[in-house]
């Protein structure tokens, strides 16, 4: 098997309906915090992260990460 085929075989297929913009991911996170019915402090403790980090993400000062259950993916499109 050539190296290109190995990379293609190893790549994960992404469900396009699961993709979100940064803003959508932050709003999803905001909804998750609200659904838990607790405070940001309690949610941060549940995830094992600092309250400051969670608050920074909710205020759009930092990007969501795997610590919050989000993964950044890159997509390509063909130029005309």
What is the value of pTM for the model shown?
0.75
* Chain-centre distance for alpha carbon 66: 6
Q: Of 74, 61, 59, 63, give the one whose Cα is nearest residue 19.
A: 74
How far apart are the C-alpha atoms of 57 and 51, rounded to whole Å? 10
Q: Is 6 exposed, middle or buried (0-12, 13-18, 19+ CB in 10 A)?
A: exposed
According to the model, what pLDDT value does residue 62 have? 97
According to the model, what pLDDT value does residue 43 have? 94
Q: Give the pLDDT confidence of 14-73 residue by residue, as tens digits.
A: 777 889 999 999 999 999 999 987 899 999 999 999 999 999 999 999 999 999 999 998
């Amino acid at each position: 098997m050539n190296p290109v085929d190995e990379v293609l075989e190893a790549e994960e297929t992404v469900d396009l309906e699961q993709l979100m913009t940064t803003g959508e991911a932050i709003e999803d996170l905001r909804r998750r915090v609200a659904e838990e019915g607790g405070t940001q402090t309690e949610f941060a403790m549940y995830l094992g992260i600092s309250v400051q980090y969670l608050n920074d993400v909710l205020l759009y000062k930092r990007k969501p990460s795997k610590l919050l259950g989000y993964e950044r993916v890159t997509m390509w499109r063909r130029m005309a």
